[in-house]
Amino acid sequence: MNTKTGFIIISCLALSSLFVISTTIQKTENNSAQLTNAEVNKGQLLEKKSSAVLAQAETSKTVDNKQSIPAKPLWQLADSIPKSSQTLAAEIPVEHITVSADAFSHLTVGQKVSLYIPQENKDYIGTVTENYQQFKGKVKISSGEIDNGSQFSSFTVTQGSESTLVMIATNESVYQVEIDNSTGNGTVIDDRALDYYRKHDDSLHTPPEGIS
């Protein structure tokens, strides 16, 4: 093998080595770039997951805060029977309550209220769903649903200038709550107890001969 041929072989070997080294470096750089992109994607995924967890935590905290807001009690059981209480037949059981002056003030849609029924010894939690007025604003009416009752459970508050009437339909019965606005004294009557009046009201009976 002459000198020229040897030189050509050596040059080819050198070029091959340089190609191999260049290819190896390129692969290394590509692998590094892929690893870098994977790390970035992983970091972005972790960041998104962290943001989602924080958002869920904030939402849960907000829901918990809403649920932790206590319902506004509209009345409580009276310690004694007021002297000025209305007179009803002895056959009609009546429970007496007391109401604070601002109990029915500023009832807003979405507000939670507590309606205590002495006959059942139970607090019903209601949600105000509607507010409106009648007779040029002289009568204010608030109505809503009972949260811990059946689908037909509801309540209606009718506020007049002298008295307030609350009708409550529960799983057990319908109750009438009448309150004297000036004294805050009130009564709770089970509507079934009023059957006494219905049975003894002579005006409800038609004379045998009929009406001419």
Task: Please state which of the ranges 34-48, 69-83, 95-109 shows the lowest mean pLDDT.
Answer: 34-48
What is the mean pLDDT of the segment spanning 59-78? 70
Beginning with the edge strand found earlier in the chain, give each strand of the sheet holding 72-73 in spatial order.
72-73, 112-117, 122-134, 139-146, 154-159, 163-169, 174-180, 185-190, 95-98, 76-77
Residue 146's pLDDT band (cuts 50, 70, 90): very high
Pairing of strands 154-159, 139-146: antiparallel
Mean pLDDT value across the chain:
75
74 vs 101: CA distance, rounded Å: 10
158-173 pLDDT per residue, tens? 999 999 999 999 988 9
Task: Quickly state the pLDDT bin for 49 (edges 50, 70, 90).
Answer: low
Taking residues 30-43, report their average pLDDT. 56
- Three-state DSSP class for residue 56: helix
Number of C-alpha atoms within 13 angstroms, CB side, residue 77? 11
Asked whether residue 90 carries a pLDDT value surpassing 90, the answer given is: no
Q: How many helices (H) and strands (E) does the chain have?
A: 2, 10
Residue 86, both tokens? 């209305």
- What pLDDT does residue 156 have? 97
Residue spans of the domains in the chain: they are 1-69, 72-202
Other Cβ atoms closer than 10 A to 178? 16
**pLDDT number for residue 69:** 73
- Cα(130)–Cα(124) distance, rounded to whole angstroms? 18
Confidence class for position 102, pLDDT limits 50, 70, 90: confident
